[in-house]
Amino acid sequence: SQQGEEDPQALSIQEGENATMNCSYKTSINNLQWYRQNSGRGLVHLILIRSNEREKHSGRLRVTLDTSKKSSSLLITASRAADTASYFCATDEGNNNDMRFGAGTRLTVKP
């Protein structure tokens, strides 16, 4: 069963703009992760944020977590055409043994 739900389902922006994707989940978690998937490829881990963290940065990526609202956001700043991909959030439902993925946000960055 899915745990996270990403919003929006699709996002199209111009190169240089910022892209914000949101994720909501239902149960308590130990951590939340964001992944990227290029078309027809495997997923690549981007960033992990633990339940006791509120914000995390990695290069042009900024992730926030609000456990009271059971939501997270992924911000990509100064987007590039190469950022075009699908982005997924995943949560562990508190058991650490398996991650549940949302349906993803398909980001298109136009050059």
Partner 1 sequence: SQTIHQWPATLVQPVGSPLSLECTVEGTSNPNLYWYRQAAGRGLQLLFYSVGIGQISSEVPQNLSASRPQDRQFILSSKKLLLSDSGFYLCAWSYLGGTGYTFGSGTRLTVV
Binding pattern for the stretch 14-33 against partner 1, x by CB under 8 A and - elsewhere? ----------------x--x
Element (H, E) at 66: strand 61-66
Residue 61 pairs in a beta bridge with: 58, 76
Task: Of 94, 93, 79, give the one whose Cα is nearest residue 105.
Answer: 79
Q: Are β-strands 19-24 and 71-76 bridged in parallel, bridged antiparallel, or unpaired?
A: antiparallel
Binding residue for partner 1 (CB under 8 A) from 41, 54, 57, 80? 41
Of residues 15 and 51, the one with the C-beta less far from partner 1: 51
Residues within the interface to partner 1 (CB under 8 A) = 1-2, 30, 33, 35, 40-45, 48, 88, 90, 96-104, 106
